[in-house]
Structure 1
Amino acid sequence: SGKTLSFGLPILQYLLEEADRQAEKQEAPPREKLPLQALILTPTRELAMQVTEELKRTSCKKVPIGTIVGGFAEVKQKRVLEKTRPPILVATPGRLWELMSSNDYSHLNDLSQLRFLVVDEADRMIKQGNFPQLKQIFELINLANPPPEDPNELEDESDDDDDEDRLRSLQGIKGEAKVVMLDDSILAAIERERSGDKSAPKPMEMDDDEYLEQLEADDSDSDSEVETEEEEELVHRQTFVYSATLTLPTSTHHLIKKDHSKKSSKKSKKGKRQPSTVDGAIAEMLDLAGAMGEMKVVDLSNLIPEGKSQQSKKAAKDKKSDKDAASKSDDAKKKKSPSMAARLPPGLTLGEIRCAQRHKDSHLYGYLVTTQQGSSGPCLVFCNSIAAVRRVGETLQTLGLPVKMLHAQMAQKSRLKSLESLRKPKSRSIVVASDVAARGLDIPSVATVIHYDCARAVDTFIHRAGRTARGMGEKAVGTSISLVAPAEEREHQKICQSVLGEESNKFEQAHIDGRLLSEAQERASLATKIVSCNDFESQASKKNKWLLDAANDAGLDVDDSMLESSLLDGDKRDRQRFIEAKRAKEQLRQLLAKPMRKQHFGKFLSGAGLRESIKAEKEVKPFVVKLKNGKRKKKA
């Protein structure tokens, strides 16, 4: 949708025009005095780096842009803040607040010249508990550059002050007393008033030198007042709030549940600018950011009628031109208003596979290996937890697929390598990720998105599915597949109704050949045994290593009975489990060396299924893993 450029172009335009103006007047300030003028906040490191690269490409690297995110050495970011002092900073809230709260960086201490504040993926940023530092950052920004005051509010406050002064002057009402020191002139005036002398007071005598000194003092005071007013003149700050799901109904995504009744009553009395049409995540973020003045809402993801959603476009093309049919449809529309559906990319195809929870691994493997769409290009697999990401990733790796993982507990270099593997359009690269990869990432080569776990909220599903079918034109196509277990049926129905309309309870069924699926289940079952055994062994090894390291640091000896035993050293059941896992490795190795086919033939190729098998292997090349010279080789 061009979201990055929509806030990047105004920022770059202002900075470039300002640089040209200063160059013409030869007023360019030294680099150490350049203030921070634009701050862009994103929820994830990957999105921050993507925004930085996009802005650098757009500006042809004429405007310095800095990135402040976690996972990198603080020394490098310190060098950026102290030497480069970029006017544009792209940051994640955690690392930014860590540097701001230290007060060691003058570039972050002076926020009075901040002209642009951008909050990307705002609905996730304000979710309860996600980014507690965000509110503190906004408080510092509003303290350094407070929003403009509403004249209506000033009038109300002045009226209140007049009422208070009037009440304090009345007898019998408690209030503040004004104390005036008596001097000789005041005492003389009081004495004249008592004696009834109504003559005019004597004029004050002043020498010429004293009069000139008094004028100069008054002029200097007025000049200093003007200078302080100019120094205290604050810049106008423009606030951008972005997200693909900001305008969804509040029931479809979980926001901070906060009581705004008191605030709204105060704002209505004072005449603030907030219109009644803005609520939900937008109003929450505007309140936190202290955004005031004129506001514009550009909504590119409005809810659309069900009949105009992506999944019903094919039916719309086949619409009859008969007058009777048109009149009937008009009557139906009059009787019942159309249900609304969330807008998704036009080239996105939504599908589902219904299976038991324990069969998800086999269905995922079967779809990736045996279907044309699953093997057509890079694939993103989303899970709801880091533990699920690790287990599913290790299972697919055991099955010989080129799999990488991506979650918040990984090192930054590993996360970047995982994303880089998705940029090869014709590869079969697979990345199993948590929702850290669900927002904002622009990787056009991703062909398929698979929801291994059903998304917990509609906005999460929309962001996940939006990682494919990126861009515009005929090539902007992709597929989103949901693996739905019986326990996830209710959540899945809510997603279907929000995306397709209230009358839709399911997506299009994704087809996997039953004969190939049975082979996939056999291989996935063996891989699950192997992964379970390896996981037990690795956990025992990690615990023993931690205990031995702690004992060495303390100078103590560790008894062997205190160490975790492996499966081979355990009881009879553990030893049997270890032996079965070892057998499973050999069986799986033999199975992976053979392609999965719908029909197996003997010595001679014959039978009714021969042509069908040849056609299937032309559409989808069998995925084979062969062992050669002690090394595993993959052949697609």
Structure 2
Amino acid sequence: MDVSAWEELELLPQTLSSLSKLGFANPTPIQSSAIPEILAGNDVIGKASTGSGKTLAFGIPILESYLARPKKTANDTKTSEQKPPLALILSPTRELAHQITDHLNALFEGGNFDGPLIATLTGGLSEQKQQRLLAHADVVIGTPGRLWQAMREGHGLVKLFKQTRFLVIDEADRLLSQGNFKEVEEILNVLERQDDEAVSDAESETSSPAPTAAVTPPRQTLVFSATFNKDLQQKLSGRARKSSTSNLATPQQSMEYLLTRLRFHASPSGKPKFIDADPSSQLAHKIREGLVECGALEKDLYAYALLLHHPNVRTLLFTNSISAVRRLAPFLQNLGLPALPLHSQMAQKARMRSIEKFKSQEGAILVATDVAARGLDIPAVALVLHYHLPRAANTYIHRAGRTARGDASGSSILLCAPDEVAGVRRLIANVHQRSTFASEQHDSEDSGDSSDGDEDDKATEKKVTKKKDFNKKKGNHFIRTLDIDRRLVARIKPRADLSKKITDVQAAKEKKSSADDFLRQAAEDLGVDYDSEELDAQGSAGRMNRGAGRKRREREARGMGKDEMGALRAELKDLLSRRVNVGVSEKYLTSGGVDINALLKGDGKGIFLGQVSGVGLFDDK
């Protein structure tokens, strides 16, 4: 493949060869802007929309630096002295850490050269395997919790990591969130301390000796994200205050905050280069958005209807809770849809298995919490369905960013109860209008070089005027309401109700089995007899309290026998074997607008018998 478009970046032939084999003919905007700055030795803060190639934006300079290193000799291989890694990459989630590993391995192994070795540290690895991976690693990728644990266990890791050439912080806004910030702060603090103090605090006295620090260039700090949330930054830095301005931080505000948390060593000025590769919008350009209004208790039914409207396309369905994932995945599976669960309480192998199946299976549906919203690069996701509404604007940006990646188009649809519609419209308007305001503010900051106090006052007055104009215009972006054929919804309701009933029975039996195992083990430990039926009888005889109705329904579900379950499954199977008739006389098919030839061949709409209008997402606005 022709990679002449990369030549202006002055990359080594080995790197160009690898890019050619991977099929990357042209650099993306974030790559064109960030790679020269990193190769020049600067610290970089990069913001770009999801799917824009941020991983290669820091991966290519790491490879260039590795290829420029002196080659290892036979004596280097024989020595037992552990060398410091070239790069340390922090990732907010296990899934993203493994995805970065896959992308960098593809880059490092794509040419005719021995590329850098990668060690990925996430949950589920034993300490012995962890040490084997780190022994010869050139690049270390890990989640903050696992990395901090490894550093505290010793083995000279702190001194090794202090000599790393690149410190990469990917998906920075999530790494700086409450769940990860403590470990991130500990890692950053220990990397900046003096050697003796850092070792005494982070490593035990029995740690193995680390090699003598060699003279190395200043460490480059590279920070990448799709968004930088200003409210979060102000909260962490103790400067939170009420404001009517955008919730999405401007480049200047983002840089100021990160400067207080990170020490940028490489840039001569002590300030990093800020690169905004997507100043006009926080969302992908080719994304179509819409909302479907339905009752709060009808979301299962309408989610199923939307999935029938989008057959054989890769779909991400987002929820706000793990319990919803555990319920929705089997609900859709019972309806014959290839649904896969993903949430943080799944075992690591199960999580990776769901992701791999989702990537490889056409038309798969991934039912996930927001653990899948950040950074995952899953190709050809055509639809993002929000079963629960995102809690914040940047959460919506990351969710919707799973589709319409690169040059592809995609759809983002929200399911809303009537009382949620107004809030959704405000949220979407916030995403579109306020990010544009942030861009305009950034442009005005770049163009204004004030030389005296009067000009500063004029610039401030101009910003205030822009804010007022923005507040007048906000809400202009109006997300469309999508219409679903009500005949379709009515026709599929019996099968959805049956699937829900089967799913509830399955969940109740699994919950009972898990509780029985726990209580039986506790009874054995105490040396007493355990009778689940007697315990249930005592519980049901107690006074009615909160949750009593739910517990009663669970008992009834657990009491359903195999024959009853078999009958329900047979009834559902029979319904699923039929096409959904949306107003066609089965005696006079030709009168219902049915393509008989397509029907006989088994193609066409497939699930539908009759003409079903689309949801209106692709109509001209």
Q: Give TM-score, length-normalised by structure 2.
A: 0.69
Aligned to 2:180: 130
Aligned to 1:499: 431
Aligned to 2:513: 541
Aligned to 1:227: none
Check if 1:406 corresponds to 2:345. no
Q: Of the two, which has the highest radius of gyration?
A: 1
- Three-state SS of the structure 2 residue aligned to 1:40 is strand
Q: Which runs of 5 or more structure 1 residues have no equivalent in the other structure?
A: 147-229, 263-275, 305-341, 625-636
Counterparts of 2:169 and 2:77, CA distance in 1: 29
Aligned to 1:114: 164
Aligned to 2:235: 257
CA distance change for structure 1 residues 567 and 526 in 2, over 3 Å: closer, same or farther?
farther
Check if 1:361 corresponds to 2:300. yes
Aligned to 1:34: 83
Check if 1:601 corresponds to 2:565. no
Contact 1:113 1:145 in 2 (8 A): no
Check if 1:241 corresponds to 2:294. no
CA distance change for structure 1 residues 575 and 233 in 2, over 3 Å: closer, same or farther?
closer
Following superposition of structure 1 onto structure 2, how do residues 331-350 of structure 1 map, counting pairs within 5 Å? Answer: 342-350=281-289
Counterparts of 1:536 and 1:75, CA distance in 2: 40
Contact 1:443 1:470 in 2 (8 A): no
Counterparts of 1:93 and 1:31, CA distance in 2: 28
Cα deviation digits, residues 49-108 of structure 1 (max 9, x gap) = 1111211221225111111111333332221123x2x121011001111111111x2244
Aligned to 2:261: 288
Cα deviation digits, residues 354-381 of structure 1 (max 9, x gap) = 1111111111101111x2xx11421110
Contact 2:317 2:367 in 1 (8 A): yes
- Residue 460 of structure 1 and its aligned partner are, at CA, apart by 0.9
Counterparts of 1:10 and 1:575, CA distance in 2: 62
Counterparts of 1:572 and 1:353, CA distance in 2: 30
- Residue 440 of structure 1 and its aligned partner are, at CA, apart by 0.9
Check if 1:620 corresponds to 2:615. no
Q: Which amino acid counterpart does residue 38 of structure 1 have in structure 2? A: A
- Three-state SS of the structure 2 residue aligned to 1:428 is coil
- Three-state SS of the structure 1 residue aligned to 2:381 is coil
Counterparts of 2:524 and 2:493, CA distance in 1: 46
1:62 to 112, 115, 133: 115
Counterparts of 2:360 and 2:214, CA distance in 1: 53
Q: Which amino acid counterpart does residue 295 of structure 2 have in structure 1? A: A
Aligned to 1:337: none
Aligned to 1:592: 576
Q: Which amino acid counterpart does residue 294 of structure 1 have in structure 2? A: K
Contact 2:291 2:481 in 1 (8 A): yes
Counterparts of 2:584 and 2:80, CA distance in 1: 73
Q: Which amino acid counterpart does residue 509 of structure 1 have in structure 2? A: T
Contact 1:72 1:412 in 2 (8 A): no
Aligned to 2:127: 74
Contact 1:595 1:622 in 2 (8 A): yes
Cα deviation digits, residues 289-326 of structure 1 (max 9, x gap) = 32351310001232x3xxxxxxxxxxxxxxxxxxxxxx
Contact 2:167 2:220 in 1 (8 A): yes
Cα deviation digits, residues 421-450 of structure 1 (max 9, x gap) = 22236x221110011111111111222111
Cα deviation digits, residues 531-575 of structure 1 (max 9, x gap) = 223322322221111111222234332245554479999989955
Contact 2:170 2:225 in 1 (8 A): yes
- Residue 585 of structure 1 and its aligned partner are, at CA, apart by 4.1
- Residue 30 of structure 1 and its aligned partner are, at CA, apart by 4.1
Counterparts of 1:301 and 1:613, CA distance in 2: 48
Aligned to 1:629: none
Counterparts of 2:506 and 2:557, CA distance in 1: 14
Counterparts of 2:272 and 2:389, CA distance in 1: 36
Following superposition of structure 1 onto structure 2, how do residues 432-581 of structure 1 map, counting pairs within 5 Å? Answer: 432-472=367-407, 476-501=408-433, 502-504=474-476, 506-560=478-532, 562-564=534-536, 575=556
- Residue 416 of structure 1 and its aligned partner are, at CA, apart by 1.2
- Aligned CA RMSD, in angstroms, stands at 3.6
1:429 to 364, 367, 371: 364
Q: Percent identity?
A: 35
Counterparts of 2:277 and 2:90, CA distance in 1: 21
Counterparts of 1:566 and 1:620, CA distance in 2: 54
Counterparts of 1:573 and 1:437, CA distance in 2: 31
Contact 2:313 2:382 in 1 (8 A): yes
Contact 1:454 1:491 in 2 (8 A): no
- Residue 280 of structure 1 and its aligned partner are, at CA, apart by 4.8
Following superposition of structure 1 onto structure 2, how do residues 122-201 of structure 1 map, counting pairs within 5 Å? Answer: 122-144=172-194
Counterparts of 1:515 and 1:80, CA distance in 2: 58
- Residue 613 of structure 1 and its aligned partner are, at CA, apart by 11
1:385 to 311, 318, 321: 321
Aligned to 2:15: none
- Three-state SS of the structure 2 residue aligned to 1:601 is coil
Of residues 536-545 and 44-53 in structure 1, the stretch that sits farther from structure 2 once superposed is 536-545
- Residue 483 of structure 1 and its aligned partner are, at CA, apart by 1.0
- Three-state SS of the structure 1 residue aligned to 2:119 is strand
Higher relative contact order (CA 8 A, sep 6+): 2
Aligned to 2:57: 6
Cα deviation digits, residues 165-205 of structure 1 (max 9, x gap) = xxxxxxxxxxxxxxxxxxxxxxxxxxxxxxxxxxxxxxxxx
Contact 1:127 1:256 in 2 (8 A): no
- Three-state SS of the structure 2 residue aligned to 1:448 is strand
Q: Paired residues, what number?
A: 474
Q: Which runs of 5 or more structure 2 residues have no equivalent in the other structure?
A: 1-51, 197-211, 241-248, 434-473, 542-550, 610-621
Aligned to 2:149: 98
Following superposition of structure 1 onto structure 2, how do residues 77-88 of structure 1 map, counting pairs within 5 Å? Answer: 77-82=130-135, 84=136, 86-88=137-139
Contact 1:126 1:256 in 2 (8 A): no
Q: Which amino acid counterpart does residue 389 of structure 2 have in structure 1? A: C
Of residues 613-622 and 478-487 in structure 1, the stretch that sits farther from structure 2 once superposed is 613-622
